[in-house]
Structure 1
Amino acid sequence: MDIIDTHCHVIAEDREQYPWSPIGGKASAWATSRPVTTEDMAARMDEAGILQSVLVQATTAYGYNNSYVRDSAAAHPERFLAVGTFDPLAAAAPERLALALQGQGLAGVRLFTSGSTVPTQGEWFAAPETYPFWRAAAELDVTVCLQLRLGAATGQLVDVLERFPTVRVLLDHIGYPDIAAGPARAGKEVAELAGHPGLHLKLTHRNLEPLHAVGEEAIEFLTPVVESFGAGRIAWGSNLPAAEQSLPELVDLARTVLAPLPAAARQEIFAGTARRLYSSLGRLGS
């Protein structure tokens, strides 16, 4: 099966060339305890049978300095493309976005509004001051990865999607729905967002681990989500090395949980959706 990883992180050994400046002032534990360089990532991809990967900025190491993911993608254009963290509140955000995409080699951008080192969910991504950014993102036809937690930020997410219906948003970790508390309820919560056509879901180990843990009940989450969004709006990402497992183990986890889905749906989730989210993936290595 063709596999593209839409969510993995790389950390350079050289901290002088690539200094750390984590958002929130605190680095994530995984970045310090089990970093993976670009070269290491390529080797692990070979071991796992992964053709191409999207290097998502390690925000809790480098903050808004996207140099390493940009340089990594430039050095290995046949294997990688880069998604960098972006500040939509900064001055001249539309112009900066265009430069990042057209002059600095980014294939997409990420807004990091909540995470392991940013425990309070930020609502700033939907503030009126960000509207020029969202308008530019739609005009530039760029995929915007959005790291947030549903519940705390669902209202703001819906506001953005309603104001900018043509913008393409890829929701990191599906917004961390509480699958453990009830797969059916979590599935319904996510499925209710499917009416916004620009919203896509990034399925990672943050979701696959709890789905695996609930066993046969996993289908109670998968069925409403896949039926409402369609597999063509869902993309798999490993989240290595934030995920502790090896890359082959993460691929096997996804295959196991998604086994009840039709083969065509699994192919969309593992590769087809990624190629539509990032059109340059189809040209890498060609």
Structure 2
Amino acid sequence: MALPRSAPPPDPIAPDRPAPAGTCDTHIHLLGAAGEAELWDKRAEDPADGWDFDAYLDAYRVQMAALGIERTVIVQSILFGTDNSLVARGIEALGRETTRGIGLVDDAASDADLDDLVAQGIEGVRLNYVHGGVLSWEGVEAMAPRLADRGLHVQMLLRADRHMADLAPRIRALPVPMVLDHIGWPDLAAGIDEPGFRALRDTLDHGNLWVKLSALYRHCPAPFDAADAHVAALLEANPLRCLWGSDWPHIMLGDARAAPAAVALDALDRVCPDDDTREAVLVRNPARLFGF
């Protein structure tokens, strides 16, 4: 059975207000054509037809210019499993001074595997509780001391209402930072006092937890105002642990509908209480976490 193809990214537009100098997009993917990296045999879809690594890179550079992005974090896509070569290639192409990566390893990753990540400019490893993957929570807990020794952190995609209440104490016990993707993927209809999202907010006060205010289009349609209360609640809980990401080029959409990343930047601007908080989310917080 043929797999669905990811769609090309939407054309970029400018946000209503320019991003401040030093703004970091902490969540993008750089894909490639079949043959440029090894596709994972359990992937849910294939890369877009007619798009190779250079095409994705050129398109992302256009987006950087449109939004005012100066720094980037490239996240390994599960489409390519543990072959992190496109992340490493993207870091070199965009420049090591302004680009970092998040890689994917399995539970059996060796010290040499982790050392390779560090050498390539990769700052963390990803655990995916929503779509599945090759790294487990038990693997993360066992690996955490070795990650800490190398200054690596864990990035996790979970569903707050299903997972956070159980995982919160275990996240607090980790010796490394944990970064949650996509506002913790909450159940928007359940409100900000849903127990899992409340546990996320409470845990955000703990120094090891961060959250990305990213991929709002996966939760609600543009202009994403249905997520305003949740984004505002996270900013109120701890604005110094919030990051922003576009989730470009918007792969594995399911029933979601992608929108230009500028709409997501405008959504952040809409709920930020002041310009200092906005600059913290876009500039200072990622600089601190990723070492820019």
Give TM class, smaller chain: 0.7 to 0.9
In 2: Cα distance, 1:65 partner to 1:270 partner: 29
Counterpart of 1:71 in structure 2 is 89
Counterpart of 1:284 in structure 2 is none
Contact 1:123/1:156 (<8 A) preserved: no
User: Within the alignment, does 1:248 sit opposite 2:262 as a pair?
Assistant: yes
Q: Deviations over 1:143-196 (max 9, x none)?
A: 3211122233225532432332x3111101132011233245475343122243
Q: Deviations over 1:200-256 (max 9, x none)?
A: 0011133796495556x834x34542232x211000001111172223333223323
Q: Deviations over 1:85-130 (max 9, x none)?
A: 122x1153x44223321x3332322122322xx4xxx897332x54
The CA deviation at 1:9 is 1.0
In 2: Cα distance, 1:124 partner to 1:53 partner: 24
Letter in 2 for 1:126: W
Further displaced range: 185-194 or 175-184:
185-194
In 2: Cα distance, 1:234 partner to 1:252 partner: 16
Counterpart of 2:289 in structure 1 is 277
Residues 1:262 and 1:90: Cα distance change in structure 2 (over 3 Å): same
Residues 1:233 and 1:246: Cα distance change in structure 2 (over 3 Å): same
Residue from 110, 122, 126 that aligns with 2:137: 126
Counterpart of 1:234 in structure 2 is 242
Residues 1:262 and 1:207: Cα distance change in structure 2 (over 3 Å): farther
In 2: Cα distance, 1:44 partner to 1:226 partner: 25
The CA deviation at 1:46 is 0.7
Q: Deviations over 1:52-95 (max 9, x none)?
A: 11111111x211111011011112215432211122x1153x44
Further displaced range: 48-57 or 140-149:
140-149
In 1: Cα distance, 2:29 partner to 2:260 partner: 13
Gaps spanning 5+ residues in structure 2: where? Answer: 1-19, 251-256
- Equivalent pairs counted in the alignment come to 260
Residue from 119, 123, 129 that aligns with 1:113: 129
Q: Percent identity?
A: 22
SS where residue 177 of structure 1 aligns?
Answer: coil
Contact 2:128/2:157 (<8 A) preserved: yes
In 1: Cα distance, 2:244 partner to 2:218 partner: 10
1:72-91 maps to which residues of 2 (within 5 A)? 72-77=90-95, 78-87=97-106, 89-91=107-109
Counterpart of 2:61 in structure 1 is 42
SS where residue 107 of structure 1 aligns?
Answer: strand
Letter in 2 for 1:132: A
Counterpart of 1:11 in structure 2 is 31
Letter in 1 for 2:260: S
Residue from 185, 190, 200 that aligns with 2:200: 190
Counterpart of 1:151 in structure 2 is 161
In 2: Cα distance, 1:207 partner to 1:189 partner: 23
SS where residue 83 of structure 1 aligns?
Answer: strand
In 2: Cα distance, 1:191 partner to 1:171 partner: 11
Residues 1:227 and 1:213: Cα distance change in structure 2 (over 3 Å): closer
Counterpart of 2:16 in structure 1 is none
Indicate the RMSD between aligned Cα atoms, in angstroms. 2.9
Contact 1:173/1:207 (<8 A) preserved: no
Contact 1:42/1:79 (<8 A) preserved: no
Normalising by structure 1, we get a TM-score of: 0.78
Gaps spanning 5+ residues in structure 1: where? Answer: 282-286
Contact 2:192/2:233 (<8 A) preserved: no
SS where residue 254 of structure 1 aligns?
Answer: helix
Residues 1:8 and 1:109: Cα distance change in structure 2 (over 3 Å): same
Normalising by structure 2, we get a TM-score of: 0.77
Residues 1:114 and 1:264: Cα distance change in structure 2 (over 3 Å): same
